Amino acid sequence: MERRSALRWLAALVASPTLTARALGAETTTAPDFAPLDKSKTEWKQLLEPARFRILFEEGTERPFSSPLDHEKRAGTFVCAACFLPLFDGKNKFDSGTGWPSFTQPITGHMDFKRDFKLVLPRTEYHCARCTGHQGHVFNDGPPPRHERWCNNGLALLFVPQTDSLPALRT
C-alpha cells in the first residue's frame, strides 16, 4: 500500500505544473493582439545590457532583493524589458517577501509557459509571449482570490508610470 501511495504522490507532483499551466490560461483559443518578434540571440545581445540578456535569453535569475522594482508601488504597467510588451498591471503587484517583484496575475494572453526541472522538482516557468524572453516562475502560494504568485526577475521588466505613455513595441 505504501508503494501505491508514493506513486500517486509522484504522479500528482509531476502533473501539477501541467495543471497549473492550463489553469493559468496556457491553452488559449483567442489570437494574440500582437505579432511575435523573432530576433536571434546575437541581435538581442546587441540590444540589451549583459545582465538583462542573461536573464531574458539564457534563463538566468537575479539575486533576491537586488531589484528596485521589488519596491515599486506606483500605478503603472510593467513591460518586457526586451520587446516592451505590457506584461503586468501595477495594481496586481504585491510584496511577497521573496525579494523579487511579484504579481497576482499577468495581462491575459501575454505569457507562454513551459515546465522547468532546474531545481529537480518541476516548476511552471513563464516567458513573454511576443519575444520568448524568460520572466520568472508562477507558484500557487499567492494571496486570495487566485492564490497565484508570479515571481518575476526585475531585470526582465521595465516600469512605466501611469502618467507616461507606454513605449512602442520593439521591432
151 among known catalytic residues: yes
Residue count of the chain? 171
CATH of domain 2-26+36-161: 2.170.150.20
Q: What is the pTM of this model?
A: 0.81
Distance CA(96)–CA(75), nearest Å, equals 18
Q: What is the residue extent of each domain of the chain?
A: 2-26+36-161
CB-count burial class (<10 Å; 0-12, 13-18, 19+) for 131:
buried
pLDDT tens string 137-158: 999 999 999 999 999 999 999 9
pLDDT at 7 over 60: no
Taking the C-alpha atoms of residue 146 and residue 134, their distance in angstroms, rounded to an integer, is 22
Question: How is residue 56 written as a grid cell?
Answer: 531574458
SS3 for 99? Answer: coil
Answer yes or no: is pLDDT of 70 > 90: yes
pLDDT tens readout for residues 22-51: 445 444 446 678 999 999 999 999 999 999
